Structure formats: structure tokens, C-alpha cells
Amino acid sequence: MILPVHLAPELWLTIFEYLPFPTLHDVTLTCHSFCYPAQPLLFHSLTFCPYSLDTDNQRFIHRLDTVERAKQRIQFCSSAHVAHAVQECKFYPRYIVGDVLNLEIAYNVLLDLLHDTLPLFFNLQSLSIMFVDLN
């Protein structure tokens, strides 16, 4: 017979910090008691690719729903539940070869949102922003 283990949440959190990413993901799906402390650890490192660059290095966003998904992701990651766990953030474009579908979406919308939320990542140790014109 297996007896349940009763540990303080702080001890579980210490244990979770040593788990590999796939196992940690599985832990978050186990139960609510494990999900709440373990979930932020899944967001230790964030990567955002908010827009694309074409072969002429012109910035663009393909579809408006891409912007909305990225906004939701940035807002979730900057929430009080997750933001404290973020230690690394990377921000860079994707390179696209081919036709540009939509030049009317302002590519800097997501850069502005990320800029506004950076102070919420108070444990941030590394920030990489590549190929971004800050003018």
C-alpha cells in the first residue's frame, strides 16, 4: 500500500525546481495542488517572435490573430502568478521568404506591450532583444 506524502508547499516547490521540463509539465497536470506552484516554473525562459522580416529586412505581421495570441501570451506571462518565475526573455523576429500578406498591422504593437510589462518580470536575469529598431 502506498501512503500519501504530506509536505509543505515550499518543499514541493524546491523539488519541482529540479525536475526536467517534460516531467515538470506532467506534474502541472497531476492535480491543482501541484499545478499552482509548479506552473510558473514552466515559464523560466520566454521567447517572443512577434513579427517577421522579409528578404529586404522589412518588418511585418502576417495576420491579426497572431498579434492577439502574442498579446494574450505576454499578458499571461506577466501575471502575478507567473511573472516572478521568468528569468530569461528573448525577443527576435522570424525571417520569412515569400509573399508578405499584410503590411497594415503595426509591428511595434507587441514590442510596446513587452516594453510595458518588463518591470513585472522582477527576477529577470537575461534579456535578449535582437534585430529591433528602437527609433
Question: Residues with Cβ < 8 Å from 39, sequence gap 6 or more?
Answer: 28, 81, 82
Mean pLDDT, the chain, whole residue set: 81
C-alpha angle with apex 82: 80 to 87, nearest 5 degrees?
115
Greater pLDDT, 49 or 99: 49
- Residue in the block written with cell 502568478: 81
Say which DSSP state 93 is in.
P
Residue 59, pLDDT above cutoff 90: no
Greater pLDDT, 74 or 62: 74
Question: Residues with Cβ < 8 Å from 87, sequence gap 6 or more?
Answer: 44, 45, 123, 124, 125, 126
Closest to 49 (Cα-Cα) out of 111, 115, 105, 117:
111
C-alpha angle with apex 92: 84 to 95, nearest 5 degrees?
150
pLDDT tens, position by position, 4-26: 678 888 888 899 999 999 999 99
Confidence of residue 66 (pLDDT cuts 50, 70, 90): confident
State whether residue 46 is helix, strand or coil. strand
- Residue in the block written with cell 502541472: 28
Q: Please check whether residue 91 is in contact with residue 132, taking contact to mean a CB–CB distance below 8 angstroms.
A: yes
Residue 126, pLDDT above cutoff 90: yes
Average pLDDT on 89-106 reads 63
